[in-house]
Amino acid sequence: MRTKGYVTGMKFHCFSCIAIAAVSCAIISCTVPVSHHSYMLEQSYATANLANRKMVVVMPTDAGIFINNKNDVTSDFGGSNATPESRIRKYYYPEFIKTFKSLVSSDSIVALSEVRQDLTKDSIGAKEVQLKAETDSMPASYIAPDKARMQALGLGDAVAIIVEQVEFKRNAFSIEYYWDEKTRKPANLEADVRVLIWDCRNDAPVFYGKLSSNIEFQFGLQRKHWDESADELAKKIVVAAKCL
């Protein structure tokens, strides 16, 4: 009887361990942190394929360009008698658009200035829409293109990729230089954009929110780092939006 009781006790102990382990696993699985994004892809476009649609890229005017490191812009792009915003439009925008065009599935994609040279973001925006991303505590305001205006421009069936604003800053301004690469202190160029992708045919939002890129450098910020920043931002938008 002593042996039988021992075996029974062992079985009960094993069963208890299994039960505790199962409960623990369930608790752990329930407490795995959920990743929240500062952008949102509308559910109705989650499995959409917009490859056969015409696309137009709309970049912000000077009022939508915020530069916290203006001296770097002049140093790397030249134009000491020009505004830093104009250097961003002249050099950063084309690199961003070039990369964006190379990554989307559509073979029909243009910048708004290619549709007509005098067109800007302000030329097509007419209505304010309130949209909320996962990390937003309250809906944010976006300016969506006017359907009638887009139709008049021959873009009534297009998908508009509208970069509403872009902000640049250089982190870790003070850089210490070492001969030893392992102890060299890096800095980074940060670029933040707020973007709205709009389905002009259906007059509806596809994707919206904020995305960032951080390009590290060690021996001073150079023009190539700006190019890398533009490339990374374009790629992040295409990957996040999925349906392009």
Provide the CATH number for the domain around residue 43: 3.40.50
Tokens of 10: 């062992």
CA 171/CA 168 separation, integer angstroms:
10
The boundaries of the domain holding residue 123 are 39-241
Report the distance separating Cα 162 and Cα 127, nearest Å: 14
6 lies in the same domain as 107? no
- pLDDT, position 176: 52
Coil, strand or helix: which one is 189?
Answer: strand
Q: Are both 228 and 205 inside the same structural domain?
A: yes
Is the separation of the CB atoms in 135 and 35 below 8 Å?
no
Task: Clarify whether residues 121 and 176 are in a common domain.
Answer: yes
Question: What confidence score (pLDDT) does residue 137 get?
Answer: 74
- How many Cα atoms are found within 13 Å in the side-chain-facing hemisphere of 107? 1
Which H/E stretch holds residue 109?
A: strand 109-111
Q: Higher confidence at residue 223 or residue 182? A: 223
Say if CB 192 and CB 215 are below 8 A apart.
no
pLDDT per residue as tens digits for the range 5-62: 444 444 444 444 444 444 444 444 444 445 567 899 999 998 999 999 999 999 999 9
Among 45, 39, 91, 42, which residue's Cα sits nearest to residue 65? 91
Mind listing the pLDDT tens digit for each residue in 74-113?
999 988 899 999 999 999 999 999 999 999 998 899 999 9
pLDDT at site 185: 63
Considering the domain architecture, whether residues 28 and 47 belong to the same structural domain is answered as: no
Do residues 15 and 74 share a domain?
no
Contact 74, 84 (CB under 8 A): yes
Handedness of CA 167, 168, 171, 173 (dihedral sign): negative
pLDDT for position 108: 92
Pair 55, 151 in one domain:
yes
Q: In this predicted structure, which of 46-55, 126-135, 140-149, 207-216 has the lowest mean pLDDT? A: 126-135
Q: Which residue matches tokens 């389905």?
A: 199
Chain Cα centroid distance, residue 99: 14
The DSSP code for 63 is G
Asked if residue 119 and residue 236 are part of one domain, the reply reads yes
So what's the pLDDT on residue 33?
47
pLDDT at 195 over 90: yes
Number of domains in the chain: 2
Helix %, strand %, coil % for the chain, to 5? Answer: 40, 25, 30
The reported pLDDT for the residue numbered 217 is: 82
**6 in the same domain as 54:** no
**Quick one: 148 and 202 in the same domain?**
yes
For residue 61, the model assigns a pLDDT of 94
> What does the alpha-carbon distance between residue 175 and residue 144 come to, in Å, rounded to a whole number?
42
Whole-number average pLDDT of the chain = 83
Among 218, 121, 207, residue whose Cα is nearest residue 172: 218
Which pLDDT score, from 0 to 100, does residue 10 have? 46
If you average pLDDT over residues 184-194, what whole number do you get?
85
Whether residues 105 and 171 share a domain: the answer is yes
Higher per-residue pLDDT: 215 or 183? 215
The pLDDT score that the predictor gives to residue 196 is: 96
Residues 200 and 143 placed together within one structural domain of the fold: yes
pLDDT of res. 17 = 46
Q: Say yes or no: 99 and 207 in one domain.
A: yes
pLDDT of residue 27: 42
